[in-house]
Amino acid sequence: MNSKARIIAFYLPQFHPIPENDEWWGKGFTEWTNVGKARPLFRGHYQPRVPADLGYYDLRLPIIREQQAEMAREAGIEGFMYWHYWFGNGRTLLSEIFDEVLKTGKPDFPFCLGWANHSWTRRTWNSTAQNHKDVDLLLQTYPGEDDIINHFYNVLPAFKDKRYIKVDEKPIFMIYDPFSLPNPNHFINVWNKLALQNGLQGIHFVGLASGWLERYPKIFDLGFDAIAPSNLWYAESKVKGKYIKLIEHKLRKYFPKIAPLDKYKYKDIINNFYNQYDYLENSYPSIVPNWDRSPRGGRRAVIYTGSTPELFKKHIKEALKVIQNKQPEHRILFLRSWNEWAEGNYVEPDLKYGHGYLDAIRNSIL
């Protein structure tokens, strides 16, 4: 455990074909499909983004997963938080990669899970769908007690793995949208009870906090042990002004072709990023290398411009100040993300900056 910061990187497993994506978006669709066809929307817009060292990889290849872990380890990253999809009634998606990591014991690199409890619609992954009426592809459901128990036993082998990341001796489990759980207190109680019955000391539940700040403390009321402030909306509202942000948001929703692009300078975002909730002992702030969702969202996307490894390093230094007075165990920073290429928030090497973002992490915390 690094004494300066425990950096845990969000990890997207969508870089391999699955039958559902083949059916919805065409044979062979992966996250690279959007990344490769992205085009600049304005002068100086850095698109498309081209991967360097690992190329347009396929996560089914064990050597790629090993190389990712090695890069992350060298940069001082503690582990990956794999996004986990459970839609109810035992329905999962994109689980093959993590299942393989679990079954083979490789890479020998720490991990935890984050439940991406949101529905998939036609607009979730594909930029061209922005021009059409949205369609539900797979709805997130919460069928009840049996499903809560089955879900627990689905992830129990991961919780028991020696690589699983813990806080206060309990496996970390993040929930993407805490407010959409029908009865979060009950869910958390059931899982904690089952954890104790299965030889664990409980589960350390972390709720991702996004949107307006007033929502952040309410996550504790739902029974969560900690929050992970996203702060994107918060920083954007501070830079642009709350009401302008809201009005433009509505314009983009209903008139995307004529609405102004939702653009921000990365420099301005990081200067307005942290708030009082990041300083709480049971709050795990984020660090964000960049953001540009235009490969997925087209003109509706939020786009940060001007990010560089030097500015990212400045952002990390600020984050280290925010967490420096916490207990070492709680000095967690969530890196958003390891490989969200179609959202522009990744630290894997690309042709423009090489290892610059990984070096920024390593030089800040090692």
CATH number listed for the domain at residues 6-365? 3.20.20.80
Do 303 and 280 meet the contact criterion of CB atoms below 8 Å apart?
no
At residue 128, the pLDDT reads 57
Residue % of the chain over a pLDDT of 70: 97
At residue 22, the pLDDT reads 93
At residue 49, the pLDDT reads 98
Mean pLDDT of 339-360: 98
Average predicted confidence (pLDDT) for the chain? 95
pLDDT(133) > 80: no
Mean pLDDT of 203-207: 98
pLDDT interval class at 163 (50, 70, 90): very high
pTM of the predicted structure, to 2 decimals: 0.96
Do 84 and 113 meet the contact criterion of CB atoms below 8 Å apart?
yes
Domain ranges of the chain: 6-365
pLDDT(109) > 80: yes
For 53-67, 116-130, 267-281, which range has the lowest pLDDT when averaged over its residues?
116-130
pLDDT(107) > 70: yes
